[in-house]
Amino acid sequence: MTADMVTTSLKLPADIYQAIKEEAASDHRSINAAIVVALSDHVRARQRARRVTEIGTEIVERHGELLRRLAQ
């Protein structure tokens, strides 16, 4: 194990565990790898959603008046 890895225990509902186990098998991955992929995807999606919100806020702050006029 490399220095940038952390070991942790995780309690999962049985149905979620079974779903992850099936996903892992169909993707030819370990359960651990499937969990890492799922969490990575989730974190990236949340980061992307936050960035979209930030960009929307910037657009409104810069061009709010123009947007209000166009909406009339």
Structural domains counted in the chain: 1
Residue 44 near residue 38, CB atoms below 8 Å: no
**Structural domain harbouring 44:** 14-71
Residue 2 is assigned to a structural domain of this protein = no
Tokens linked to 39: 């969490």
Residue 26 is assigned to a structural domain of this protein = yes
Residue 23 is assigned to a structural domain of this protein = yes
Residue 9 is assigned to a structural domain of this protein = no
Tens-digit pLDDT string for the chain (72 aa): 567 999 999 999 999 999 999 999 999 999 999 999 999 999 999 999 999 999 999 999 999 888 888 888
Q: What is the pTM of this model?
A: 0.73
Which backbone phi and psi does 62 adopt, to 5 degrees? -80, -35
